[in-house]
Amino acid sequence: MKMNKTKLSNKIRVVSNPKKLKKCPEKRLQFYTCYASAVSETLKKPLFQKFLRWIIKREKIEKKAVKDIQVRMFPFQKENGKSLAGRCNNEGVILIFPKRRSLLKKKLQKHKKEKVLFYLKSRAMAALIHELLHVKYEDNESKVRQLTENYFGIFIRHQNADVKSRHNVQKMLFGF
């Protein structure tokens, strides 16, 4: 099977923990459902998928090594209290997590809704690029981070966003 014939977008799906679904208040559930749908749609967009295929080809990543891409409905908090954007395991399962609702409310107090939405979508794309690179580079976090910044920078430069917006999003994502 040729690498570019298998669609990575077919492996993207929204997943939730049934226990968390039962405990989640209606308003919060509605928020995270919309969030996960927006992220899933963003990651499946043809232009982004084409870019991922280019990365896979350029980095010589075995596409069949990625078995599943799960857009999780609820955030994952590490022991240090920080939220995790994504994770990849040895079985080729990539998980993409949302930001906590409380953090997004804070961002909405400072920024316009469009800018926050652009940030959320950009965060998800950068997380998928990052975890995809982990498929090849496994535990080499510094290399994966550097490549993620480079590749995401290439992708964002080819979007319609103005220079100031691109710089602000890159600053929020990568801290430069």
Rounded distance, CA 39 to CA 14, Å? 9
Contacts of 45 (CB under 8 A, 6+ apart): none
Query: 134: helix, coil or strand?
Result: helix
Token code pair at residue 107 = 């961002």
119-131 pLDDT, tens digit per residue, is 899 999 999 999 9
Rounded distance, CA 109 to CA 154, Å? 30
- In the predicted structure, residue 37 carries a pLDDT above the cut 70: yes
Token code pair at residue 8 = 């990575």
Rounded distance, CA 85 to CA 87, Å? 7
Bridge partners of 130?
Answer: none
Q: Which domain holds residue 155?
A: 3-174
User: What is the number of domains present in the chain?
Assistant: 1
66-105 pLDDT, tens digit per residue, is 999 999 999 988 888 788 899 999 899 999 999 888 888 8
| pTM score | 0.85
128-163 pLDDT, tens digit per residue, is 999 999 999 988 999 999 999 999 999 988 776 555
Rounded distance, CA 135 to CA 49, Å? 17
Type of residue numbered 64: K
Backbone angles phi, psi at 150, to 5 degrees: -65, -50
